[in-house]
Chains A and B, each alone.
Chain A
Amino acid sequence: MLRIFTIAIAVLAVVIAVLSVAIVSARVVRTARARRQSALAAAPRKQLLAFVADNGEEGADDLVAIGEDAWRAAEPAAVALLGKVRGEAHRALVDVFTRRGVGLRARRALRDRSPVRRARAAQTLGDLELREAVGDLCDLLADRHAEVRIVAVRALGRIGEPGAAWRLLASLDRSDPTPALLVTDALVQLGPDVEVTLSAALDHPQARVRAVCLDALGLLGATGTAGRVARVLRDDPELDVRIAAAATLGKLGTPAGIAPLAEALRPGRPAALRAAAAKALGELGAKSAVADLEAQLGDPAYRVAHEAAHALRRLGPAGRAALERRVAAADPAEGGHAREALAMLAIGTADPAPVLAGVGP
């Protein structure tokens, strides 16, 4: 027994000593390396900033001529700069990257065995907004690794090629789908050209796809699809999709949304849907819906009454009058939501003005 202990002590002592030395040398090596890297990167970084500040008018050749070591040290800074500038400065910088072969290397790395390298490559292609990589990135939407798919979604959004829309939607319809909000965000970045695709996909059998399309249409302000969205609000079998449709009608802000929303607000519908409809009516600025909203102020469901009151707060004098009527009529225990909304109205909130009333700053 004692022998075993003795051996164990010896082993421990050695390992502890090695660890201590390792900690100290890790520090020394890292500091030295960091210093070398920043020294290497210093000159290229200055060149990069000057290049970008001058809109890339001169100095491109010098940047392309920078040695590989120094460039690698400065590359993270260069990539970061890509995200901070736009216009011709951005284009000029991308051009430098392309001439250095960064885009080509990244496209090749999309087929690397390591998921980290694939994801990094996708990120780079997105940063460079390289249109010719869209096809490859779309293929990456079916990658085995969730983290790679996510980067591909974001990269496609950055690039903004509308043709990627249906592939993005398809990536939602898998057993392990891409995250809905990220896809929505990417779709919105593709711009108004995708409205047709989104509107067509409102018939998709997968509820998640329909909900994402609705959200994206709302954010894109695709007013032409309001009638179509109203039909989804009325007929879709999935509650979540109907709720998304209500929110979209609110964002679209067309009068065509008012009647279907008022319909969805009626008692007997699920509370979550009614709350969403009330909120949307406020957002839309539906002055004609004041009476419908006022009728919900005493609703037993908290969300419905709450959203109705706050929707009225956004509907101008008529809405305010409705709230005041409620406070005056109901006994103190009941008029709570209206009182709350009036108090917020008195402060004047940072809520954006209703869409229909729409005068910008």
Chain B
Amino acid sequence: MTRVLLAEDDPDIRHLVSYKLTRAGVEVTCAADGFTAVQEARRTPPDIALLDVRMPRMSGLDVCRELRATPATAGIPIIMLTARARRQDLEAAYAAGASDYIVKPFSPRDLLARVEAALGRVRI
């Protein structure tokens, strides 16, 4: 089964996304902050990571860099979630190694599509 690592400090969004993805047949591991997310990823490397940019203890960008630097997770798709969509933010995300970028507020349907697309891209 596909495993998703979801790091997001807003409980509503965490529940919303994990509900959506679980229904789509994906196993979701949640973390409420960046540091926990890295630990989770070390314990069991996920197939894909959804990271909020602004989180306590470690920002999503730092988590992203960390995942990229770890061999087990270096190649997985990483999608960033953020409330801001300025060009600098986008560039920073891609520079950190993100594969995609979803701006909050987002459409749940769109989010699922992006996750599936990212997974598909890797499978090919």
Q: Taking the complex as a whole, does A directly touch B, i.e. does some CB pair lie under 8 Å apart?
A: yes
Minimal Cβ-Cβ distance residue in B for A350: B88
- Contact (Cβ within 8 A) A77 B12: yes
User: Chain A contacts of B90 at CB under 8 A?
Assistant: 361
| Mask: chain A, 234-273; 1 = CB below 8 Å from B; 0 = not | 0000000000000000000000000000000000000000
State whether the Cβ of A352 lies closer than 8 Å to any Cβ in chain B: yes
- Contact (Cβ within 8 A) A86 B109: no
Provided the pairs A352-B88, A352-B91 are in contact, do residues A86 and B105 lie with their beta carbons within 8 angstroms?
yes
User: Chain B contacts of A87 at CB under 8 A?
Assistant: 106-110
- Contact (Cβ within 8 A) A86 B107: yes
- B108's contact among A83, A89, A351, by CB below 8 Å, is which? A89
Q: Smallest CB–CB gap between B105 and chain A, Å?
A: 5
- Contact (Cβ within 8 A) A84 B88: no
| Mask: chain A, 45-82; 1 = CB below 8 Å from B; 0 = not | 00001101111000000000000000000000100110
User: Chain B contacts of A90 at CB under 8 A?
Assistant: 105, 107
A contact residues, range: 20 to 34
- A53's contact among B20, B86, B104, B105, by CB below 8 Å, is which? B20
State whether the Cβ of A360 lies closer than 8 Å to any Cβ in chain B: yes
Provided the pairs A49-B16, A52-B16 are in contact, do residues A85 and B87 lie with their beta carbons within 8 angstroms?
no
- B105's contact among A54, A84, A351, A353, by CB below 8 Å, is which? A84
Minimal Cβ-Cβ distance residue in A for B104: A84
Q: Smallest CB–CB gap between A12 and chain B, Å?
A: 45
- Contact (Cβ within 8 A) B88 A85: no
Distance of A292 Cα from B74 Cα, bound (Å): 47
State whether the Cβ of A132 lies closer than 8 Å to any Cβ in chain B: no
